[in-house]
Amino acid sequence: MKLHTPDGNELMEVHRLEREGDQLIIRGTIMGTMPTKAVLRPEQLRAGFSLLSLGLIFSLIGLLFTKGSKSGS
């Protein structure tokens, strides 16, 4: 999975999600070259869910069925 900036530049490529105890480990590369390991703790995940509104949830579900444009690949 790739994350891009608003102007289309690759920001991060996520290679793998793993569980370590009660944490989610996100492994990938930033800016195409720098390996990184990010940690998502349970309290951070709960805080992330508080950012979701009902309208945004429906929009995210709709995105699953939208054919997006490929940029740079």
The tokens describing 46, both together, are 């709960």
- Reported confidence tier of residue 69, pLDDT bands at 50, 70, 90: low
**To the nearest whole percent, how much of the chain has pLDDT over 70?**
92
Across all residues in the chain, what is the average pLDDT?
A: 89
**Least confident among 10-14, 22-26, 66-70:** 66-70
Which pLDDT tens digit goes with each residue over 17-52?
Answer: 999 999 999 999 998 889 999 999 999 989 999 999
Q: Where are the domains of the chain?
A: 2-63
Cβ neighbours of residue 4 closer than 8 Å, sequence gap 6 or more = 10, 11, 71
Mean local confidence (pLDDT), 9-19? 94
Tell me which amino acid residue 46 is: R
The tokens describing 26, both together, are 């996100």
